[in-house]
Amino acid sequence: MFTGIIEELGSVRSIEERGENARIVISAHVVTEGTNHGDSISVNGVCLTALDIHPDSFAADVSRETLLRSTLGNLKPGAPVNLERAVTPATRLGGHIVQGHVDARGQFAGLEDHGESWTIRIAYPKEIARYLVFKGSVAVEGISLTISALTDDYFEVAIIPKTWQVTNLSHLKPGDGVNLEVDVIGKYVERLLGNNASH
């Protein structure tokens, strides 16, 4: 489990295809501290298992399913990636509950620069529409954000300077794919209501 508060902007060192799967090596310095073999690290919002950990890098195996569902398969060496270690019992939950399970791919549709802040527009697929609510939480590239505007085709989020500086949002170009994870609480509520309706 993660909070959606990014700890470090790392970069892709290499991606090696292994059949229909892949091994990715990430350059990083912060998230490798205190991380053990088998620990979870969120990479652009995707929960991966850290392997071959060094002070300046770690590796992770990425399954075919993850490559198809997320944008990790589109990464190239040098690409910036948002990194967060899994929460511990002592972690402050500064964002919202983020599982690192990508629900859908969205598309970066543009931004407005307001000087010291930005509004980013993200187009999203219809299958996650029911989980998006105005002023609700959503994870974009693993970043916990609040929806500031919502239409049938896109949502907007407000970005403060700190988030702009420490994440890959400032590197996105219109048309780029982004990983989206909706708030898991909405999915649980839907499931519970669905089960109650059948009794």
pLDDT tens digits along 19-71: 999 999 999 999 999 999 999 999 999 999 999 999 999 999 999 999 999 99
Determine the Cα–Cα distance for residues 173 and 175; give it in Å rounded to an integer. 6
Tell me which fold the domain 104-191 belongs to: Elongation Factor Tu (Ef-tu); domain 3 (2.40.30)
Q: 113 and 132 in contact (C-beta within 8 Å)? A: no
DSSP state of 152: S
Confidence of residue 194 (pLDDT cuts 50, 70, 90): confident
Determine the Cα–Cα distance for residues 197 and 192; give it in Å rounded to an integer. 9
Q: 57 and 51 in contact (C-beta within 8 Å)? A: no
H or E segment to which residue 120 belongs: strand 118-123
pTM of the model: 0.91
Q: Nearest-5° angle of CA 39, CA 105, CA 183?
A: 65
pLDDT tens digits along 105-125: 999 999 999 998 999 999 999
Determine the Cα–Cα distance for residues 57 and 133; give it in Å rounded to an integer. 37
pLDDT reading at 89 higher than 80: no
Instruction: Report residue 162 CA to chain centroid gap.
Output: 17
Give me the architecture of the 8-85 domain, per CATH.
Answer: Beta Barrel (2.40)
Domain with CATH 2.40.30.20 in the chain: 8-85, 104-191
